[in-house]
Structure 1
């Protein structure tokens, strides 16, 4: 009798969690993005909005740089064009409130979907624990940039592949429109294509009969997905783009492309510790294709910190069924439709409340490490039209303000040689800096207030400080005497 009571209580709790957890975590994700100022702490947000505005005004996708003066006309693969158009539309509709609402809704959808799919393989509270670890891996990348807009698609695509494997059938063709959208939102669609291969292999190995049918159906799906991914303004160049970028030797000098730092306890380390503890204590076993996929995810996350998000989300879905089997399987509780409807109404009411609170306090950008607002306001208009030398993080803001930068976040377009020369000049290296000044006819500079280059520029006779604050320092170069 006592055991029956425990089982009933557990089933009731599990049913409750099946409905409420996805809604609660979605609301938390929405609220975090709406009210956390750190979400806008990336200079690339500015130029993404500017690129979207350019496309709306010109009615086309750019294939050459329209923004900088150092790479004007250079080939540019605008692989995030659809994300940038969405960002521009959101900004036109509601300025920065529009941006955070767009990304808040995207994050909420991704979190809710992830919690929902984890629940298909895991009981509560195990599903919630795995979700928290996955969401923690997403947190360092939670910025107003296109990679967040594809997060719900990453969840749906990955879960769709794993569910198809469990059913012993090829993935639904309904996933193909997701690939079409993904390929136009962000270049990470290449990973989605690659993920189909090990899951297809796992499905083939797990099948005891009619393997030819399984191989044929998965092969057709892979071919169709690849074909759909080519339906972008960049065509096959979009497939090659991620590999071309990853081969740039100096890419690791950019924060998000550097190796994961383990000097302080971070989300990835916590997830690894948890995974090791469970694997050794519970004897988790993974099919070889799934194990190899997990190893690749871990390698990507260790190599480039930006891939922690991918490792957290896809890794959670990849491990969900093996974890469910190790912890005694999943008891699918049946929540009533009435209870589901009630929680949906409560969730919608909370969304309306959070949105109203955000709209009641219009989000206004002030000086921060990527927004040298006051500094730029002190530069005379005639100087603004002259070539500038800028800190990397300020490039996006300059483009946003219709000022052609020396460099910005589109490092793939500028090329490795250009970026290497720029880095050498900032070391600081007077000879390298003056070489760039002469080559590009630079008349002024706007540098981060904590830049190591400031003392060098202060020592140059033709340069003088025009303005300085806690964010940026502006220099002007006196015109050479004739």
Structure 2
């Protein structure tokens, strides 16, 4: 029995509200700054416009399309608008996934089960441009799980063109498509004529992705990101799935994802073997790098959803089932309708900075005293500074772990200063910084800078602003 329209509407409203989070990812700032640069300069950057440390380094703005959208939304509605944007995009992912299940006649009679899937999924997606790739993969799987005689299958090359100009995760889309094709050959899923159609569409889609401002360099950049060993040590987005650098607060979510993935993979019939193999491959990659949870999510969601419905069918024979479901739905409803004050508080710059743990006081001091120039900064603060003080240049931001100098990630240069490697001060001064915004915990570096003539301009419980002699 199909769910009522009211049930579906309520479910997706709850998913939207549950997805509504402050847009405080450290990379948010440089995405907005990139969008602003493109709009104001009417060109897409080819070299880095934000740093003084590597001013002429090639820059692949792989998410330039969504960066423009983020800039325009922020200009119109501020950080609250960004929160709404990402909540809508996350809800769109679940809507596409639900329509895929519906089309396959695997209808979830009680779509509130989607809320159970939403809990770990929203933790993975966050408020980041990677949601474009999550949506793209859900869309691709929706088309691939339909009969190949469907005219909708010919949307794929156009979709890849749009995807390539919104987010660089399109590379994962091509990998997924290629794996799907290879597995379909091995498992004899399609007739030979349909296999030829799929191969032709893969080639057309690959060509379509090259129609972006960086052509094939988008792919070489993506390969560099995936194989960046430095990021897998220092960048929490790329560390292994159970790295000690990840906090315990996300451990439950990661365990749920792994357990759900394993159950889904080993509980599939032949009709879903292709999806199961894909899920297994991405799960293995996720153990090496957390980022591969992004392509894993849409695949596992498709596998888990009908399993939950099957389980529900068995449980409905018990008298306690509906009261228990009512309690779960009530609890989830109460949870997602709970206080969202952080989202609306983020419209105030000082509140946003507090939530994001950014140096608002130092930035405000610079603005009030008309200070600008070359700013040495903490790694995760660079994007925020490029966004808030566009007249200044930063030392490093979240893009630059994928900037390579002599085959070494530039992030290692920052780590040498942060960890006070031998000669760290001379290394810093070789870049001729004029200002520094450093964490209050950097007391050794602060004292060394003072001994070398630097002046303390401002200090609060987050950051120290210093000026070079």
TM-score normalised by L of structure 2: 0.80
The Cα of 1:226 is off from its aligned counterpart by 0.7
Equivalent positions of 1:173-188 (< 5 A) are 173-188=154-169
The verdict on how the C-alpha distance between 1:382 and 1:73 changes in structure 2, with shifts beyond 3 A counting, is: farther
| SS of structure 2 residue aligned to 1:174 | helix
- 8 Å CA contact 1:200–1:218 kept in 2: the answer is yes
Given candidates 151, 159, 163, the residue that maps to 2:134 is 151
Instruction: Return closer, same or farther for 1:326/1:257 CA change in 2, 3 Å cut-off.
Output: same
Contact 1:199 1:289 (C-alpha < 8 Å) held by counterparts = yes
SS for the counterpart of 1:249 is coil
Measured in 2, the distance between the counterparts of 1:360 and 1:139 equals 20
Match of 2:278 in 1: 293
Residues 469 and 121 from structure 1, CA distance in 2 versus in 1: closer, same or farther, beyond 3 angstroms?
farther
Offset of 1:148 from its aligned partner? 2.0
Structure 1 214/328 Cα, relative in aligned 2: closer, same or farther at 3 Å? Answer: farther
Secondary structure in 2 matching 1:137: helix
Q: Which runs of 5+ in 2 are unaligned?
A: 314-340
Q: Write the deviation string for residues 152-176 of structure 1: whole angstroms up to 9, x where unpaired.
A: 3221112211224xx5779611232
User: Is the CA contact (8 Å cut-off) linking 2:401 and 2:410 kept in structure 1?
Assistant: no
Aligned 8 A contact 1:393 1:409 in 2:
yes
Distance in 2 (alpha carbons) for counterparts of 1:26 and 1:173: 29
Q: CA deviation at 1:118?
A: 3.3
Matched, 1:84 2:63: no
Confirm or deny: 8 A CA contact 2:381 2:397 kept in the other structure: yes
Q: Contact between 1:171 and 1:221, CA under 8 Å: does it hold in 2?
A: no
Asked if 1 retains the 8 angstrom alpha-carbon contact of 2:386 and 2:393, the reply is yes
TM-score by length of 1: 0.78
Judge conservation of contact 1:383–1:443 (CA < 8 Å) in 2: no
1:344-423 map, 5 Å:
363-366=347-350, 367-368=353-354, 369-379=356-366, 384-400=371-387, 401-402=389-390, 403-412=392-401, 414-415=403-404, 416-423=408-415
Q: Which of 304, 313, 326 in structure 1 is aligned with 2:298?
A: 313
SS at match of 1:388: strand
Counterparts of 1:217-296 in structure 2, within 5 Å, are 217-252=197-232, 253-261=234-242, 264=248, 265-276=251-262, 289-296=274-281
CA contact (8 A) 2:15 2:115 kept: no
RMSD: 3.5
Quick one: which of 83, 89, 93 aligns to 2:76? 93
Q: Does 1:115 align with 2:101?
A: no
Mapping for residues 398-477 of structure 1, pairs under 5 Å: 398-400=385-387, 401-402=389-390, 403-412=392-401, 414-415=403-404, 416-429=408-421, 431-450=422-441, 453-460=442-449, 461-462=451-452, 463-477=454-468
Task: After superposing the two structures, state which structure 1 stretch, 96-105 or 227-236, moved more.
Answer: 96-105
Are 2:50 and 1:70 equivalent residues in the alignment?
no
Measured in 2, the distance between the counterparts of 1:163 and 1:476 equals 62
Structure 1 contact 203–214 (Cα < 8 Å) conserved: no
Q: Secondary structure at the match of 2:194?
A: helix
Local SS of the residue matching 2:208: helix
Distance 2:226 2:24 in 1: 24
Matched, 1:141 2:125: yes
The aligned residue for residue 195 of structure 1 is 176
Is the CA contact 1:388–1:443 (under 8 Å) kept in the aligned structure 2?
yes
| Structure having the higher Rg | 1
Q: How many residues align?
A: 428
Closer, same or farther in 2 for the Cα pair 1:291/1:148, shift >3 Å?
A: closer
Q: Is the 8 A contact 1:134 1:313 kept in 2?
A: no
Per the alignment, do residues 200 and 320 of structure 1 end up closer, same or farther by CA in structure 2, a change over 3 Å counting? farther
Task: State the distance in 2 between where 1:83 and 1:283 align.
Answer: 36
